A and B are shown apart, each in its own frame.
Chain A
Amino acid sequence: MGIYLPIAEISVNVFVLLAMGAAVGFLSGMFGVGGGFLITPLLIFYNIPPAIAVATGANQVIASSFSGALSHMKRGTLDFKLGGVLLAGGIVGSTGGIFVFALLRRMGQLDLFISLLYVVLLGTVGGLMLVESVNALRATRSGAAPVLKKSGQHNWIHRLPLKMRFRASKLFVSVIPVLGLGAGIGFLSSIMGVGGGFIMVPALIYLLKVPTNVVIGTSLFQIIFTSAYTTLVHATTNQTVDVMLAFLLMAGGVAGAQYGAKAGQKLRGEQLRALLAMLVLAVAIRLAIDLFVTPPNLYSLSAAGLN
């Protein structure tokens, strides 16, 4: 069944989009990530213009992070104060990102920049995760107990000034790295259409030493607002949010997420992480190939004086 997307201005198959949403929802439920980093590249592979894929991806992320944050709020695993400070940074970063986005679009370099960012970020995160999980798998196979890094050890981040107490996270830390992390994620959110959970979660755990149980809820909380802000600004400045497209992805996504969460409980942590790492790397490689392969058309047209 075909449907015409009003903003992307192309006809697409409804079932392909629902399946895409469900598949990414399944994976995000399984791995506990928002899925924005998979949705946007998939939309680009499906010939949705990158500018629209990014803005719509941000819109889609709101739905999955909102439903996730609700359950964490109920369980009390959400640090509102930490989330609030992250959010303050996020708004600044997101505003900067939107400005860069519009500038790159005017220069005709937006598509390239989005692809490059994806290749670098997904390649790095996927590569690190794969190495880590393969090591863990090997360690368990050889029977050795997994070596945990000593927690409570302080690094340079804990010596920065302007300290603030976050009670729910049992944390006393400078606001500078928290604001900086929020700003970085906000910037990526507006340029890549991702929530940024796949960077936020490891950064909160390893850099700020936030207890793991509050990390995901807090990260989801800040992602709701950063991506809501990103969606609003993209809608007003670039008119690139396609609600029809976003709704189809969300509808598939919320259903898929529940089954993914169930399936995730049956797999072991290391296996899950290795699978996710391979998936992330595959997307990065596919995007990288497109950068190097001679395009079928060297010339492209776009409306002058856009934005």
Chain B
Amino acid sequence: MAGLKAFAAAAFLSLVAALPAVAQTPPAESIQIGLSTDAVSITAGFSGADLTIFGSLENADPLVARQGRYDVIVVLEGPPRPVVVRRKDRVLGVWINLESETFENVPVSYSVASTRPLQDVTDPNSYKQLSLGASNLYMKPADVTDSPATIEEFTAALRDRKTATGLYSENVGGVQFLSQNLFRATVRLAPNVPVGTHKARAFLFKSGMFIKESSAQLEIRKSGFEQSIFRVAHDYSFLYGVFAVSLAMLTGWLGRLIFRKD
């Protein structure tokens, strides 16, 4: 209500405006998000989950809020990694990987949650400027001399594969306002969610105009017995190999002891 009063007062002032009024415009809206934890541990049997992020609008205009003209888009972006996209072609009847394109810094995962379908929130140009949404992410090719058509084809294929494996996802209606100021976003974590530092970002739009962005970091770790094996295999790979060989010999020897027929 305070906001409405301030708005009314401002309108009155501008109507009467004889005096060079010191702008009585309401303070600008902003957005905040909070994560209940800054690290998530997933175990080996992880089969995907929903991650809930709470956030609030500050200085929200109740009138705009009531009319539902505030939109929030929340993105959980995985760590960037270089990726090779390969295309199979038929050579003498056999399918062979022929063409390939390497992209630098492609987010391993990208989950979007929004109040409404993305195309209803704002126009494509704003998305491009913000580099927001899986289809607007800029994927930098390692070899910029390749023809734009090729790059476009492989970029599309990259997005397509990421979407098919659940790493890039979109959850329309995944952001819900709990009150005029408080919202809850639900983003999907794919079963094969990569470990590393993920970035949660929230974008606030008012009547289709981008207002403010806020971000927080989330560390995703794998835990459990299988993860220890993975770590040992990578950090102490020679010892791991010795262990694998010894285990095989032991099994072979025991197998002979237990099942011996001669």
Residues of A within 8 A of B (CB): 2, 4-7, 9, 11, 59-60, 62-67, 70-71, 108-109, 112, 224, 228, 231-236, 239, 241, 243-244, 246-247, 250-251, 253-255, 257-258, 261-262, 291-295, 297-305
Report how far A250 CA is from B142 CA in the complex, Å: 43
CA distance A222 to B245 in the complex (A): 15
Which of B1-9, B128-136, B204-212, B232-240 has 4 or more CB atoms under 8 Å from chain A?
A: B232-240
A262 — which chain B residues lie within 8 A by C-beta? 261
6 shortest A-B CB distances, which residue pairs? A254-B255, A235-B241, A66-B252, A62-B248, A304-B82, A4-B44
Closest partner residue, chain B, to A243 (CB atom): B244
B12 within 8 A of A: no
Interface contact B251-A251, CB-CB below 8 Å: yes
B binding-site residues for A, Cβ under 8 Å: 44-45, 81-89, 93-97, 100, 102-103, 142, 154, 157-158, 160-162, 164, 192, 226-227, 229-230, 233-234, 237-238, 240-245, 247-249, 251-256, 258-262
Q: Which residues of A lie under 8 Å from residue B89 when comparing CB positions?
A: 298
Measured between beta carbons, the chain B residues less than 8 angstroms from A11 are: 45
CA A107 to CA B240, docked complex, whole Å: 27
B contact face: mostly helix, strand, loop, or mixed: helix
CB of B251 within 8 A of CB of A299, answer no
Do residues B94 and A301 form an inter-chain contact, with CB atoms below 8 A?
no
In the complex the two chains form, is A63's CB within 8 Å of B95's CB?
Answer: no
If A67-B253, A299-B157 touch, does A59 touch B245 (CB 8 Å cutoff)? yes
Give min CB distance, B233 to chain A, whole Å. Answer: 5
* A63 lies within 8 A of B255 (CB): yes
Q: Is the CB of A231 within 8 A of B88?
A: no
Q: Which residues on the B side are within 8 Å of A112 (C-beta)? A: 94, 96-97
A6 touches B241 (CB 8 A): no
Query: Complex: how many Å from CA A234 to CA B245?
Result: 12
Which residues of chain A have C-beta atoms less than 8 A from B243's C-beta?
243
Beta-carbon contact of A303 and B81 below 8 Å: yes
B245 touches A231 (CB 8 A): yes
CB distance from A112 to the nearest CB of B (A): 6
Pair B85/A299 contact, Cβ less than 8 Å? yes
Q: Which residues of chain B come closer than 8 Å to A108, judged between CB atoms? A: 84, 86, 97, 100
| Cross-chain pairs A/B with CB under 8 angstroms, 15 sampled | A4-B44, A4-B45, A7-B230, A59-B244, A233-B241, A241-B241, A247-B247, A254-B252, A297-B161, A298-B87, A298-B88, A298-B89, A299-B86, A301-B161, A301-B162
